[in-house]
Amino acid sequence: MDIDVRGPRFGAAVTTAVLAAVLITGSVWLLAWQTLSFALGATGGVGRSPYGWLFRKAVRPRIGPPTEFESPEPPRFAQAVGLVFALIGLVGYAWGPLWLGQAAIGCALAAAFLNAAFGYCLGCEMFLLVRRLTARAE
C-alpha cells in the first residue's frame, strides 16, 4: 500500500532539527533517540517510526487527505541508510574520534535537509538506482 508523500517529508524536517541539535549540543542521548527512530523506520516502515506516528496522529488530520502517494520501499531504504550514518555517528560521539561522529551526522543532516526543504530523498534515489542496476543485470 502506498504512503502519503508528506509523511516522510515531515519526518525529514523533524530529523533535520534533531540532527542539527546533535551537532550543536554534542548530545549522545539525542543521537541515540534519532538512531532508534531510524531503526524503527527501517524495520517497520516510515509509518511505524515515531515521526510517522506523529504525522499520522497530529499533522495529517489538520492538513487534509493526501493528493500524492509513493511506494513505501524507497523511504524505508532511506531510513536504513540514515540508520547506518547514525550508528557511525554514535560510535564517533561515544567512543571517538569526535570528527567521525560529526562527519556522519553532517552527512545525515544534509540528506534530511534536502528531503525536508526540496522533497529530494537521497536514500530513495539510491534505492531506485540499485533497483535499475539489478533489473538491467538480470
Q: Are the C-beta atoms of residues 3 and 46 closer than 8 Å to each other?
A: yes
Which residue's entry shows cell 511505524? 48
User: pLDDT, tens digit, for every residue of 38-88?
Assistant: 999 999 999 999 999 999 999 999 999 999 999 999 999 999 999 999 999
Q: How far is CA 8 from CA 26, 71, 91, 122, 135, in A?
A: 25, 11, 26, 12, 26
Going from N- to C-terminal start, the domains of the chain cover 3-137
Separation between Cα atoms, residue 30 and residue 35, nearest integer Å: 9
Model-level pTM greater than 0.85?
yes
pLDDT at 1: 87
